[in-house]
Amino acid sequence: MKYKLLVLDVDGTLLNSQREISKRTIQTLRKVQSIGIKVALASGRPTYGILPIAKAIDLGTYDGFIISYNGAQVISARTGEIIFERTIDPQMIPYLERKADKTGMTMAYYDGDEVVSTDIENAHIIDEARMNGMKLRKGELLSAEMEDWPNEVMLFCDDEDELSGLEDHMQRHLNGVMDTIHSNPYMLEVVGYQVGKSYAMSALVQKLGIGLDEVIAIGDGAADINMIQMAGTGIAMGNATESVRRCADFTTLDNDQDGAALAIERAIVSEVQTTEIPIDALNAQSKNTLMGNLGIQYTFASPERVEATMPVDHRNRQPFGILHGGASLALAETVAGLGSMVACKPDETVVGMQVSGNHVSSAHEGDTVRAVCTPVHLGRSSHVWNVDIFTSTGKLVSSVRVINAVMKKR
């Protein structure tokens, strides 16, 4: 496949203007992950604030990644392992505190599931906590109360010119010490030196052992520009700023029109229809699912045929040592499901509708059965598959008919 990693901004890209992720986007991201593409969510949010979104798209199940604090931290969504991290120089925290006090700005930072600030009645800080599902905690002298040095410190002010002036001052006098991100008119984010989504993406690419030309990145804001420029293909949202659109390879629809899902379908899913299906990646990603629990392994996949094997052992046998009929149906639905995923169009999704099987002979514990799935009918609204299950000696165990419903993504 051309791409091996998809990096997605969250607010304004993955989420719509109501801060929700659409069903179509969820289905599309689950599909690209199921065919072997790694996904990373890249956001200015804290890690805690991204976790519910990661869960919604099964990021942990498919060994995806979370890039948080505008790139200051990269973690495995499955294990929580920190892959890359940069914090603010601890000597700079009192400096930031003095600057905030002198200019009348409000300072805050993230601590676990809390937003800590000297002013927890500030409307912007309340919104920040609510957006990330975090609690508020009032502090007095923040630099003295921090137990761990933060990945990010936020300065809030309703005077955008005042924030821009402070940003210019810090860029002139603190170059090589800290970086700043002016992501909102009312908020200046301060991070460690050489922190950004592009740095985090580079670290992740190195970790995965892939090239930047195998990365696709999608975003809408100034913090996304460098990663869009660095990726093999950079895509701007329809709601992106003009500067983002100018540096992207192309622009999709806005975030209220499922622009990210549409871009992924066109750039990734449509390409997979004519390329080799990544069998090893599919099997690796299925180890924590029903497939893994039953020992099912794909052995071949194409638009015309899908095959898989399953050992007959303690996980799927009846008390008398023969293969359970329910396990045979699960095997059949597994191969037919992949067949429909390969066969459907990029803007379509499939769900199981009906399965019926004829069990004609038995398979005994210690044997390995093989399922061969071929299409009977591939229509606009349904796919019908025939799945024959054989023993290792070629004896037919079950013949199963599986019907999957085909629906347009919404």
Residues annotated as catalytic are 333
Structure tokens at 215: 């990365």
Name every residue whose Cβ is closer than 8 Å to that of residue 123 and which is 6 or more positions away in sequence: none
Distance, CA of 102 to CA of 216 (rounded, Å)? 43
Distance, CA of 365 to CA of 395 (rounded, Å)? 15
SS (H, E, C) the chain: CCCCEEEEECECCCECCCCCCCHHHHHHHHHHHHCCCEEEEECCCCHHHHHHHHHHCCCCCCCCEEEEHHHCEEEECCCCCEEEECCCCCCHHHHHHHHHHHHCCEEEEEECCEEEECCCCCHHHHHHHHHCCCEEEECCCHHHHCCCCCCEEEEECCCHHHHHHHHHHHHHHCCCCEEEEEEECCEEEEEECCCCHHHHHHHHHHHHCCCHHHEEEEECCHHHHHHHHHCCEEEECCCCCHHHHHHCCEECCCCCCCHHHHHHHHHHHHHHCCCCCCHHHHHHHCCCCHHHHHCCEEEEECCCCEEEEEECCCCCECCCCEECHHHHHHHHHHHHHHHHHHHCCCCEEEEEEEEEEEECCCCECCCEEEEEEEEEEECCCEEEEEEEEECCCCCEEEEEEEEEEEEECC
Structure tokens at 234: 């950079």
Give me the residue label for tokens 């495995």: 76
Closest to 404 (Cα-Cα) out of 334, 308, 310: 334
